[in-house]
Structure 1
Amino acid sequence: MAPKNDPELIALRKELDELYNTLKDEQKKQADTTLESACSGVADAPRVKLITRKLMKGHLNKVNSVHYSGDNRHCVTGSLDGKLIIWDTYTGNKMQIIPLRSAWVMSVAYAPSGNFVACGGMDNMCTVYDLNNRDSSGVAKMVRELAGYDGFLSSCRFLGDRNIITGSGDMKICKWDLETGRKTSDFVAHNGDVVSISLSPDGNSFVTGSVDKTCRLWDMREEKPRQTFFGHESDVNSVCFHPSGYAFATGSEDKSARMFDIRSDQQLAHYKPPTANSGFTSCGLSVSGRILFCGSDDNNVHMWDTLKNQHNGTLSGHENRVTSLSVAPNGIAVVTSSWDQHVRVWG
């Protein structure tokens, strides 16, 4: 690998920056209006008033990731205590506790069917568990260990019970056949760690966020990005598809959240908290797409009216960084995880 002060590398980076700036200038020329002005005739969204319906305690260390099941009731969390916990968000009860071989879990995923969960992190591996089958100790059976990464596993999402897609610190996206345990696709997706993956509502495409400050749109059948979106000034920590399938939201280390439109190939809106003092770790959208939720370093979840670009409120309760959030597929609730070791259900 060439050293950072290599003259050829510096020249290439300069050329790349110039190309980025040219693209941004061309996009600005096409932007004939803003989302706020186009929606000026739309009534303001009412203030969203969510409260903590369940405070779920059980982890003994920082909780790094949470994801809802397709049944809108159960969720899975992964913590640095080396455990996955399956929760019933209606009652707050623990349904299953799954001990992990590695405590350094960074991402979890719940299959839409509710049959499987997956996790991974600094062990450079994606591990899949079958919730309907138990091993001799009564714990959910591990059915796959998907190895072959040159970096940490940062994100994973089930495409169904037979396939999963993963992003990692080696800048790659991999798709796996869970029946054979083999990769069906393996390609470099970004110029930095892949941090987040969000699947489109129709399942035909997905969007990724990266520490290279960009987001990319992909077709499930291809290994080249359809589109690359610029604008963020630091790591894109989270991406979330709009329910319409025509846009997606982002949360970034640069203390902003944004909305990008796929059809016009550019940024639609730039959302800032009342006091820009911390970055955003995670984001999610309401079922209508009208409300954007972003988990933050400041221990809160910030909300915006996406159409009017107005800060709509704050969910306060966590006592440390909010690491991850997941909106129930039917929109009935939002679940958040935090470094304070707790998981909260808001509704």
Structure 2
Amino acid sequence: MSKAVKSILFSPITIRGVTLRNRICVSPMCQYSADEGLVNDWHLVNAGSFATGGAGMVMIEATGVEARGRISPGCPGLWTDTQIEPMARISRFLKSQGAVPGIQLAHGGRKASTLPPFVGHDSIGDDKGGWPTIGPSAIAFGGPIGKVPKEATIDDIEEIKEAWVRAAQRAVTAGFEVGHILVIELHFAHGYLVSTFLSPATNKRTDKYGGSLENRMRFGLEIARNIRHTLPDNIALGVRVSVTDYADQGWDVPQTIEFARELKALGIDFLDCSSGGVVGGVDYNPLNTNKIQIEIAGTIQREVGLATAAVGKIVDPHVAEAILQGNGATLIFMGRAFLNNPHWPYIAADQLTDEQAFKYPPQYDWCIGWKGMAKWRKAVLLAEK
């Protein structure tokens, strides 16, 4: 992209009263480093580095709405009030650096009670520190995640829906809100609990939560509706969804589009378009999956009129810009690029714009900020003379 074309990536955007300084968002990335659901210094430094690096929004990793919903023993949670202040500490720092704090609420379902991936990612036996899991049907994910979940009863479903609402309330009312600037994302993707209710490959129920598309969407829509109703109007609420299972007789793009329409009608503000993770044995080709995710983000934005986030190994600033310029999404969600370089936006700004894209932290601004670089360029020119 020529620098003569105004960069959308570095244009601010307001979604339901929440203004992001740019469209660069840090995807929620599990760190598996919490203790009894409590975040700690690792989480503060990890997320904080992305905020000082210039991201418009930094989203805290999948946070369990109940202890049973943790993916691993090291996953954070908001199922009790004691977990609020450590999370609020991170949120306050993100806000102080100009980034919008976000948090992803999640329930692991049948993929809960597992080892961290850097240990093995296998199911943990109940006699070895694990816990019973739950799902729409008593079907294990398979492979190393072999624990068979309990088939959720109607009472279980009601209890879990309430857990989602209470976790959202804790995120807002007890410190994470930080001056009414907050984004909450509901994790309905990757084979975790709500995702398995959506997919006919994993949902074999015969009651009102299974069978037809309307029934399979019911659980997720009820959670989204209940949370939207309990949140202040100026809190942005998004949903992450797997746009396809990559499996025969599974969840697919047409169903995703219909789900997006229903979510928009409930007041959901954006859809984070990921894919896969729902059934085992899928041979993922990153080139294909990333292309599908980005294409569907554009399709939903155009056909449904719902803001979308494109995600999937986006590491090149020009690629990110082209997605936005081509009406492919509203936001760019990135993970690995930030792990490689928490200051990725600095490099992107140098490549995409001649203007001051954002305010650097004062500790950096005097040296590499707009004024600092101007002084450096002037010194170089004088030296060349």
Give the TM-score normalised by structure 2.
Answer: 0.29
| Structure whose residues are more often strand by fraction | 1
Larger radius of gyration: 2
User: Taking CA–CA contacts closer than 8 Å with sequence separation of 6 or more, which of the two structures ends up with the larger relative contact order?
Assistant: 2
